[in-house]
């Protein structure tokens, strides 16, 4: 009897995987919002109670799920977004790993309501600790509502690691803003304990920036737009006068995915050099689009760090695009119209 290896049961395997994907309520916010976007929703509501410790709910008017898909969506590696390894390098959706819902269901109690577009009856599913407790047909709006309740109720050690409500709420708002910024054509709302914190109407990127970051940016945004065969960059930087001592108004998106890149941040700071005081930060909201073949987004489960096949080209391109934009506006400042 020397054999000692056994396979972990699904719920334990899922709980372990969840440790990478779902670290705090804000991680679930990101995953659920991205799923709603991937489902083609044009209106997305985020509802929070107790800084997400009690409830994180996302309601969307996207394409919804069939009864079978609704059940399948909670299985590990269950995804409608890729089928082959090649697809990974053509990815245009936010999700593709098929881990988010399985992870969420492993560390909370989940209630799903969904109705496939064009069908009459929806599906209701209740899951607790990876196990389906209830499944039945239900009346519900077209689209999907997923409620994650009592995060980490079954993993007390992790629950104890959660920070104060104020700190967890800041993480939630950060994730909400990152997704909302990338999809100005989608309406987003955020409610916390029955108070509406954000109501973001559909509109232009400029309107979205102003409604998230403040009216003072109106007439103080400089458009950045440049195209090559390899990639293009689009978006806005703040006029030098709006640079702040604090960070927070800096956003980088690659193929609509928010990423953290100290390297590209540096490229922008370089473009601003001399125009702003030392240790102050200009606003930027920049979208880089390029063929997914040039990037690897699968280097980290949360996909916030990505690899480019040519870092130096990116750096030079971003820096020169921002420089051109700044030069343009200082020669012809009257070209900057009011909203």
Instruction: Provide the binding-site residues for Mg ion, judged by CB under 5 A.
Output: 35, 95, 100
- Map the footprint of ligand ADP across residues 257-276, applying CB under 6 A: none
Tell me how far the alpha carbon of residue 331 is from its chain's centroid. Answer: 36
Find which of Mg ion, ligand ADP, none residue 223 binds, CB within 5 to 8 Å per kind. Answer: none
62 binds ligand ADP (CB under 6 A): yes
CB 134 within 8 A of CB 56: no
Q: What tokens were used for 124?
A: 């209701």
Q: Which residue is nearest to ligand ADP (CB)?
A: 95
Q: How far is residue 235's CA from residue 231's CA, in Å, rounded to a whole number?
A: 14
Q: Which of 96, 251, 253, 284 binds ligand ADP (CB under 6 A)?
A: 96
Nearest distance, CB of residue 259 and Mg ion, angstroms: 17
Q: How far is residue 320's CA from residue 271's CA, in Å, rounded to a whole number?
A: 7
Cα–Cα nearest to 339, from 209, 218, 239: 218
Q: How far is residue 37's CA from residue 90's CA, in Å, rounded to a whole number?
A: 18
97 binds ligand ADP (CB under 6 A): yes
79 binds ligand ADP (CB under 6 A): yes
Q: How far is residue 339's CA from residue 319's CA, in Å, rounded to a whole number?
A: 26
17 binds ligand ADP (CB under 6 A): no
Distances in Å between the Cα of 279 and the Cα atoms of 86, 110, 189, 266, 329 are 43, 45, 34, 12, 23
Q: Which of 11, 80, 165, 298 binds ligand ADP (CB under 6 A)?
A: 80
19 binds ligand ADP (CB under 6 A): no
60 binds ligand ADP (CB under 6 A): yes
313 binds ligand ADP (CB under 6 A): no
Q: Specify the residue, 55 or 94, whose C-beta has the smaller distance to Mg ion.
A: 94
Q: Which of 35, 57, 61, 123 binds ligand ADP (CB under 6 A)?
A: 35
Q: Which residue is nearest to Mg ion (CB)?
A: 95
**Alpha helix locations (H) across the chain?**
10-21, 25-38, 67-72, 100-106, 156-161, 165-182, 205-213, 262-272, 311-331
Q: Which of 27, 109, 144, 242 binds ligand ADP (CB under 6 A)?
A: 144
CB 256 within 8 A of CB 287: yes
36 binds ligand ADP (CB under 6 A): yes
149 binds ligand ADP (CB under 6 A): no
Q: What tokens were used for 295?
A: 């990037």
Cα–Cα nearest to 144, from 33, 22, 302: 33
β-sheet bridge partners, residue 308: 295
Tell me how far the alpha carbon of residue 15 is from its chain's centroid. Answer: 22
Site string for ligand ADP, 167-186 (x = CB under 6 A): --------------------
Q: Which of 28, 39, 173, 224 binds ligand ADP (CB under 6 A)?
A: 39
Q: Specify the residue, 46 or 65, whose C-beta has the smaller distance to ligand ADP.
A: 65
Find which of Mg ion, ligand ADP, none residue 242 binds, CB within 5 to 8 Å per kind. Answer: none
Q: Specify the residue, 280 or 298, whose C-beta has the smaller distance to ligand ADP.
A: 298
57 binds ligand ADP (CB under 6 A): no
Nearest distance, CB of residue 326 and Mg ion, angstroms: 37
Distances in Å between the Cα of 145 and the Cα atoms of 36, 150, 181, 193 are 9, 16, 22, 18
Q: Which residues of the shown chain bind ligand ADP in the complex (CB under 6 A)?
A: 31, 35-36, 39, 60, 62-65, 73, 78-81, 95-102, 144
């Amino acid at each position: 009897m020397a054999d000692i290896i056994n396979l972990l049961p699904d719920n334990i395997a899922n709980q372990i995987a969840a440790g990478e994907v779902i670290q705090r309520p804000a991680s679930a916010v990101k995953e659920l919002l991205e799923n709603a976007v991937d489902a083609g929703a044009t209106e997305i509501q985020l509802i929070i109670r107790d800084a997400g410790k009690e409830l994180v709910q996302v309601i969307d008017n996207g394409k919804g799920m069939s009864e079978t898909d609704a059940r399948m969506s909670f299985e590990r590696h269950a995804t409608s977004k890729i089928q082959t390894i090649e697809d990974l390098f053509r990815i245009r959706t936010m999700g593709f790993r098929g881990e988010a819902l399985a992870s969420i269901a492993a560390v909370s109690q989940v209630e799903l309501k969904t109705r496939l577009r064009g069908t009459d009856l929806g599906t209701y599913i209740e899951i607790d600790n990876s196990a389906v407790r209830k499944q039945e047909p239900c009346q519900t709006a077209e689209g999907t509502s997923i409620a994650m309740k009592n995060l980490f109720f079954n993993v007390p050690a992790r629950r104890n690691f959660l920070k104060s409500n104020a700190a967890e709420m800041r993480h939630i708002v950060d994730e909400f803003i990152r997704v909302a910024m990338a999809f100005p054509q989608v309406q987003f709302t955020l409610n916390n304990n029955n108070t509406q914190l954000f109501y973001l109407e559909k509109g232009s990127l400029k309107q979205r920036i102003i409604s998230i970051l403040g009216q003072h940016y109106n007439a103080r945004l400089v458009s950045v737009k440049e195209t090559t065969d390899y990639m293009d960059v689009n978006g806005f930087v703040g006029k030098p006068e709006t640079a702040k001592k604090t960070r927070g108004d800096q956003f980088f998106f690659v193929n609509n995915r928010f990423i953290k890149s100290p390297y590209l941040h540096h490229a922008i700071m370089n473009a601003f050099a001399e125009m702003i005081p030392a240790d102050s930060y200009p606003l930027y909201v920049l979208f880089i689009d390029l063929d997914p073949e040039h990037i690897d987004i699968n280097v980290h489960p949360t996909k916030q760090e990505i690899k480019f096949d040519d870092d130096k080209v990116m750096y030079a391109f971003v820096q020169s695009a921002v420089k051109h934009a700044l030069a343009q506006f200082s020669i012809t400042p009257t070209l900057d119209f009011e909203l």
